[in-house]
Amino acid sequence: MNDPDLRCCPVKIAYVLNTYPQPSHSFIRREVQALERQGFDITRLAMRRSEAALVDARDQGEAAQTTYVLDRGAFGLFGDTLRQAIRAPIKTAKGFFLAWRMGRASQIGVLRHFIYLAEAAHVARRCRADEIEHVHAHFGTNAAAVAMLSHVLGGPRYSFTVHGPEEFDAPHTLSLGDKLDHASFAVGVSAFGRSQLCRWASFAAWDRLHVVHCGIEPAAFEHSTPVPDGPLRLVAIGRFVEQKGQMVLIRALEHLKEAHPDTQLALVGDGEMRNDLEHAVTDAGLGDMVRFTGWLDQDGVRAEIEQAHALVMPSFAEGLPMVIMEAMAAARPVIATYIAGTPELVVEGQTGWLVPAGDDFAFAKAMEMLAAAPTEGLARMGETGRARVLQRHDIDDQARKLGDLFRAAADC
């Protein structure tokens, strides 16, 4: 895998994604661009466009390079499926049966999986036309289903990265075991993530399960800013959805507001729970302490982190959050829940605090400890975290690991 001749072998890769780019998926963009820097030819195939506004110019640039499969419309995809059936009737029948079986197991039904089959027919045709040697999907949901069906229809071998928690919540309904067993390899973004894949893959597939971390660009964090003076400033970053647990922070601030009324919390992001969060802030009388920023571009997120004393991450379920890596790279301590892959990066007492998920009292206590810590202590903690994340999550290093797996899968 480290043979220099292997590393020189060019491979054409198609990235198959559900919705791309998205504001919360900058890690995919960094991975794709790092692979391109290493000589890979990457074709971006997304099923649909993002409904969220793309405020980051880098995401806008990625959108311009992406082909959107559903833009072909029903007639275009039907034509792709018909051509596939004429070209390879037996493989098409196998794909049809597999889509039917996956649909029966799922919560979204057979019809949706037949749509995935039509998308897969287009992906397989595109891969043949462009001489693509390998397909990689992110997330073990519908993108991995399309990649697997494309392979069954005669397209290239495939792999996929599992982030969690969605795949870990519903492995049977997602047919995760089938996707793992058919794949050339699969990747977890943490050791915890790989362990969950081992639960659903056959024993024979375990050696094809790997850990490749999501990465950051060290050059973007070449210089860290000093920890700010003044009252406690916290930042939380993520989609406003149930698994992210932002409501816990509102309750924690209720416990904190008498002793630390000047505390400021910036909630960066947006989502279906925004109204609930805004109402909770109003009902708790925390309007002067909590600020909603909406989605910000990468520079805006970095600015919010640098203005804060720490990142707070109250998630109930996760993979290994990118925002933790970015906060640590910016030399900021982290208060996070003790779940999934987070303890592999956040070290209690050295780079931050780990608290039980859902425990608002524990969050409030950790915030109080943060507020009481001397500035030089926070700075030391931040620099320790910075060194740890730069050593473990350099995107070029991680892309190199993934690239070696691609080359091996392509018999290159």
pLDDT at 8: 57
Taking each helix axis as running N to C, give the angle between helix 322-329 and helix 298-307, from 0 to 180 degrees, rounded to the nearest 10: 60
Residue 255 has pLDDT above 60, yes or no: yes
Q: Mean per-residue pLDDT for 299-322?
A: 94
Please say whether the beta carbons of 351 and 313 come within 8 A.
no
CA 283 to chain centre: 33
- pLDDT category of residue 7 using cuts at 50, 70 and 90: low
Please say whether the beta carbons of 355 and 403 come within 8 A.
no
Residue 299 has pLDDT above 90, yes or no: no
CA distance 408 to 412: 6
CA 224 to chain centre: 24
Predicted confidence (pLDDT) per residue in 65-85, tens digit: 999 999 999 999 999 999 999
Residue 94's SS3 state is helix
Q: Mean per-residue pLDDT for 184-202?
A: 96
Residue 281's SS3 state is helix
CA distance 116 to 126: 15
Taking each helix axis as running N to C, give the angle between helix 73-87 and helix 89-105, from 0 to 180 degrees, rounded to the nearest 10: 130
Task: Identify which of 251, 245, 234 has the alpha carbon closest to the alpha carbon of residue 360.
Answer: 251
Please say whether the beta carbons of 314 and 246 come within 8 A.
yes
Residue 354's SS3 state is strand
Count Cβ atoms below 10 Å from residue 74 Cβ, excluding itself.
10
pLDDT at 53: 83
Angle, vertex CA 56, rays to CA 54 and CA 62, nearest 5? 75
Give the percent of the chain with pLDDT over 90.
90
pLDDT at 364: 97
- pLDDT category of residue 10 using cuts at 50, 70 and 90: low
Q: Which residues of 156-182 are buried (b: 16+ CB within 10 A; e: fewer)?
A: bbbbbbbbbbbbbebbeebbbbbbbbb
Residue 410 has pLDDT above 90, yes or no: no
- pLDDT category of residue 6 using cuts at 50, 70 and 90: very low
Domains of the chain: 4-215+394-409 (3.40.50.2000), 221-392 (3.40.50.2000)
Q: Mean per-residue pLDDT for 349-367?
A: 97
Q: Mean per-residue pLDDT for 326-351?
A: 96
30-39, 112-121, 171-180, 221-230: segment of lowest average pLDDT? 221-230
Residue 390 has pLDDT above 70, yes or no: yes
Please say whether the beta carbons of 155 and 120 come within 8 A.
yes
Residue 5 has pLDDT above 50, yes or no: no
Please provide the average confidence, as pLDDT, over all residues in the chain.
94
Please say whether the beta carbons of 341 and 315 come within 8 A.
no
pLDDT at 412: 59
Predicted confidence (pLDDT) per residue in 130-172, tens digit: 999 999 999 999 999 999 999 999 999 999 999 999 999 999 9
218-232, 247-261, 323-337: segment of lowest average pLDDT? 218-232
Please say whether the beta carbons of 14 and 132 come within 8 A.
yes
Please say whether the beta carbons of 238 and 246 come within 8 A.
yes
